[in-house]
Amino acid sequence: MKPARIMINRNICDNAPECSGIAECPAGALYWDDVNEVIAYNEDVCLDCGNCVKACPVGAILWGRDEKEQEENYLKIESDPHKIEELVVERYGAMPIEEPLSEEQTKDFLEKKRTRYAILEYFSDDSIRCLLHSIRISDMLSWLPCDVEYKKVQTENNDYLPILRIFDGEEMIGEIIGYYDDSEEQTADLRQQLTSFIPN
């Protein structure tokens, strides 16, 4: 058995079945383990192609060519200050933490919500991004001048996901299409759009 060359930094990996590293692995060495609900690695079938490393948008998958590089990767993971508990909160564009609504449930949700405004985030399994660079929902809501209810809605009906739909009562008053990451520029753009629909 050859030594394991792939390591996963689970301090920043959101451990989702939609992992882009899994999708790009030609041998199935990186795979979703349904029993343990974890991204797993089978070193025996790994081709050492590095596709999974290139595919991971947050650098959570590391590959070492030899024992020295593997040790360096291990130390890099051990010294990473991130903690997964800090990442696993509701974030825009990322996998839902709470049970999402179905499209059929949205009308009932809007009728019963406790606030004037609501934001519904429509997503599909294909639109999910990694947690590390996704914006916290709590941060988004803090930009707004009043209480707003936020809920994710799982759908398969649109190619331009995720989509934020903003409601005043049960009437949709705005829509923001596409993913925004936590970079300064994209965060500012998303904030400007949201506050244009729900002004002071």
3-state class of 173 per DSSP? strand
Q: Yes or no: say if 145 and 183 are a contact pair by the CB < 8 Å rule.
A: no
Residue 4 pLDDT greater than 70, yes or no:
no
Give the number of other Cβ atoms within 10 Å of residue 79's Cβ.
Answer: 8
Q: What is the DSSP string of 151-193?
A: EEEE-SS-SS-SEEEEEETTEEEEEEES--BSSHHHHHHHHHH
- pLDDT tens digits, residue range 48-103? 999 999 999 889 999 998 889 999 999 999 999 888 888 889 999 998 999 999 99
> Could you give all domains of the chain from N- to C-terminal order, each with its CATH number?
6-84 (3.30.70.20), 101-197 (3.40.30.10)
1 has pLDDT over 50: no
Specify whether the CB–CB gap between 164 and 176 falls below 8 A: yes
